[in-house]
Structure 1
Amino acid sequence: MAAETGTGPGAQPATEKREPGPDEILTARDLLGRGLNGIPVLIVLVVALSLATDSFLTLNNLDNLARQMSIYAIIAMGQLLVILTRGIDLSVGSVVGLSGVIAAITVFETSGGLPVVWAVVLALLVSAAVGAVNGLLVAVLKMPPFIVTLGFMGIARGLTLLLSGGRTVQPLPEEFSAIANGSILGITNLFWVTLVVLVVLSFALHRTVWGRYVYAVGSSPESARLAGVPVNAVQISVFTLSGLLAGVAGVLLASRLSNGVPTAGTSYELDAIAACVIGGASLFGARGTALGAFLGALIVGILNNGGTLLGIDPFYLQIAIGALILVAVAMDQLQAIRARNRPDPDPEQGPGADPPGAEAAAR
């Protein structure tokens, strides 16, 4: 999916398969392609669990569900940005642990302690810096995202263990714990933060030039470059935002637990990728939405929550989530095959049709 830049000789062909512009009306099919395809699965799960247990739709359980899925959703929406550009970020889980420990140490163990605001800002700056370095290595040195972020997964986890001495940092001030454990209108702050991230990213991806650039890079980096898209800057920006959002999730997790756990965030990168894929993102790039990642995280959260209520072995839940990932990827691959075999696709179809990212990957 290429962006429409309006300049240069390469801009004209790029307009044929682009994201709808800010002034265009999205059709129902566009919306389905933008993440609403996870809603049927969500409805089935909610109905099934409501019939299977009386405690699922209670206010207490819904509050617990909101707290559990919010962390995963924030990480997943950051992961989505990288996936849209055909990348992957395996360092987000370690960054969650690093940011939480940094915030905990600076607000508690430092002599006198930093004010909560500055401790949070420091943790987020470090997280964004990790993401920015990932992006620089991928964009400038052309290193594979998998290898770069795999390396930083180990580096960030090692730094976390060194800073904490391998011990949990506790107790923390009540002001810090109140960040995640407070509520507004009876709804946990965690969920409000998640909604803000969802709205901001959805607007940025579908109503700004930067968002069109992200989809263009995911569709075909070379075509995007010829069309005048600053490919390197886009790649650096998505990795930076992925690191930043992982840092936000880490601070919120430390606040929720009221301590800094050096092993926090372990395997969260896999949950984030699972949420993106289940929510309709394509590993070929250029297809996926913040809403889809949010719904994917909600589906994973409901599976875990419902399994706990029903007393299902968590190992079976992991099998179910893994199966969902395989089904989602298989469906995406089938769409890619249909896209390659279709001789004359309708240029008016939105991203809910066969993903152009799959065509680009087939070249």
Structure 2
Amino acid sequence: MDESLEREVAEPRSAAVANSENIAVAVGLKLLGAGAVLILIGLVLVLSLLSPYFLSPRNLGNILAQTAVVCVVAMGQHLVILTKGIDLSVGSNLALASVLGALSFHAGASTLTVVAVMVVAGAAVGAVNGLFYVYGRLPHPFIITLATLSIAKGIALQLADGRAIPGMPPAIRSLGQEAFAGLPGSVFVVAGVAGLMFVLTQSTVWGRWVYAVGGKADAAVRMGIPVSAVLVSTYVISGTCAGIGAVLLAGRTDAGSPLFGNLLELDTIAAVIIGGASFLGGRGHIGHALIGAIMIGVIRNALNLLNVGVFYQLIVIGVVIVIAVEADVLRNHLESRMRVLRAETGP
């Protein structure tokens, strides 16, 4: 009698504990999901107090212009990371595309041709990455993208003789240097690419395939999803974004250079992870890449305004990346715990 009474008292108590833990885990997941946005808002508020110049229209315009290239290329990197991949070649790809664009301009090509050369060159390197990774049966895209990082950089240095090639068509210079409706021209390119990426990933069958491949490739194969084609397409799009980034950077500097894009691969990977996407694949959206890229731009701009040395900036970005990765680990742990609690308490 006493034992049955104890069980009756203990069962409601354990259910209450499980429900409270369920709520705590759910709140933790919500906070982690919104963490990047909250941190960005907090950064803006703090920096506006530390520096009177931070919120000035000119400085905000500089931040948007400086982060435009990272934003565009990070969106392509985001697609690759969604499939549990990585593209280390984006910086060298951008450099090669800018050099080819400058050479085509000096050869007398029209503005549209120069733009097409840069975008197609970027897509071609992306296609090489995807095709070799998938059909070469490489164990990880790290290998081929590391190889094309070196190859593209070497070709760019050879073609440009190790120097920047000055000169770009006036329309490309205007896009990179002038403001329209109070905003840098590059911002409209970022918005256009982001809108297209959002539609592709959220409103098309292909977008659902990308998430399925990143979530569980074996299951995607059994569902009849063309996994190989999906993987190749993500690398082609990543390369295309590098080509578009080359157009923006070449316009801003009025040149093509084999030295462009140094550490861009790290910035784009950092932007995706800091924004809240996962290295485990299958989770995240384009907003994560944009938020992460803007956060990196805000941090660097703030450190410049506060006269912090460039070497310390690298340290700060590295620390932020570690925090973002740990947040991803914590999120995965909480999601696992949530599944266990739901199984225990029922729907």
Q: TM-score normalised to the size of structure 1?
A: 0.83
In structure 1, what is the equivalent of residue 121 of structure 2?
Answer: 126
Structure 1 residue aligned with 2:268:
272
Aligned to 1:57: 55
Deviation track 1:199-229 (CA, whole Å, cap 9, x = no partner) reads 1111211111111100100011110010111
Q: 1:250 aligns with which of 246, 250, 256?
A: 246
Q: Does 1:153 align with 2:149?
A: yes
Instruction: Tell me the distance in 2 between the aligned counterparts of 1:54 and 1:34.
Output: 30
Change (3 A) 1:230 1:34: farther
Give the number of aligned pairs.
Answer: 316
- Tell me the distance in 1 between the aligned counterparts of 2:181 and 2:310: 33
In structure 2, list runs of 5 or more residues that go unmatched.
Answer: 1-25
What runs of 5+ residues in structure 1 fail to find an aligned partner? 1-27, 348-363
Choose 1 or 2 for highest CA Rg: 2
Task: Report the alpha carbon displacement of residue 326 of structure 1 after superposing the two structures with TM.
Answer: 0.9
Residue type at the aligned position of 1:141? G
Partner of 1:332: 328
AA partner of residue 114 (structure 2): A
Distance 1:81 1:48 in 2: 32
- Counterpart of 1:314, as a letter, is V
Indicate the residue corresponding to 2:95 in structure 1: 97
8 Å CA contact 2:66–2:297 kept in 1: the answer is yes
Instruction: Determine whether 1:68 maps to 2:66.
Output: yes
Show the counterpart of 1:7.
Answer: none
Higher helix share: 2
Q: Which residue of 1 aligns with 2:309?
A: 313
Which of 278, 283, 293 is the matching residue for 1:297? Answer: 293
CA contact (8 A) 1:84 1:215 kept: yes
Change beyond 3 A, Cα 1:260–1:327? same
Partner amino acid, structure 1, of 2:260: A
Percent identity reads 39
CA 341–41 in structure 1, closer or farther in 2 if over 3 Å, else same: closer
Q: Distance in 1 between matches of 2:332 and 2:52?
A: 42
Q: Distance in 1 between matches of 2:32 and 2:110?
A: 40
**1:67–1:188 contact (8 Å) kept in structure 2:** yes
User: Which position in structure 2 is the counterpart of 1:47?
Assistant: 45
Residue type matched to 1:99 in 2? A
What CA distance in whole angstroms lies between the structure 2 residues aligned with 1:342 and 1:172?
Answer: 54
User: Against the structure 1 CA distance between its residues 141 and 341, is the aligned structure 2 distance closer, same or farther, given a 3 Å change threshold?
Assistant: farther
2:282 paired residue among 286, 291, 310: 286
After TM superposition, give the deviation of residue 174 of structure 1 in Å: 2.6
Does residue 114 in structure 1 map to residue 97 in structure 2? no
Any conservation in 1 of the 2:32–2:331 contact (CA below 8 Å)? no
> RMSD across aligned C-alpha pairs, in angstroms?
2.0
Give the match for residue 237 of structure 1. Answer: 233
Partner deviation per Cα, 1:281-327 (whole Å, 9 max, x = no partner): 10010111110100000000000001111101122221111111111
Distance 1:84 1:37 in 2: 19
Shift of residue 266, structure 1, vs aligned partner? 0.8
